[in-house]
Amino acid sequence: MHKGVIKLVLTGLFVTVAWSAGVSSAKEAPAFVAESTVALASLPPQARTTYNLVLQGGPFPYDKDGDVFGNRERILPLQPRGFYREYTVRTPGVKHRGARRIVCGGQVPRDPQTCYYTQDHYASFRMIVDKP
């Protein structure tokens, strides 16, 4: 076999193996940091309002509120699709939905098992504790 062909084949194998390794590690969920919590009382007032709307079942100010949250970032504990739902937390001075959300999980949206707050559009989450 010609040296150029061998080099091309070996380079292709290396790239394939490296890509495969990246894909498999991307499928692994990062460890959820349990100590990442926030007291409900210390959330911004808009987040407390959103949380109370979740418990009341609405009405919600945005059409997307209550939609299924896919957890594509895999930062939250893995659950079956449909477990998590997302809700917008208004940001004063912003005319669009902004980056703040509450994501709640459970079988009954009005009675969530757990809720999380993100202020950076799903880059990080803190579990809401000290619920009413």
Question: 28, 73, 96, 121: which one is catalytic?
Answer: 121
Residue 114 backbone dihedrals phi, psi, to 5 degrees: -155, 150
Does 28 participate in catalysis according to the annotation?
no
What gap in Å lies between CA 63 and CA 60, rounded to an integer? Answer: 7
39 contacts 129 by C-beta, under 8 angstroms: yes
Query: Which residues is 103 bridged to in the sheet?
Result: 86, 116
Does 73 participate in catalysis according to the annotation?
no
Tokens, residue 86: 């997302």
**Could you list the active site residues?**
86, 121
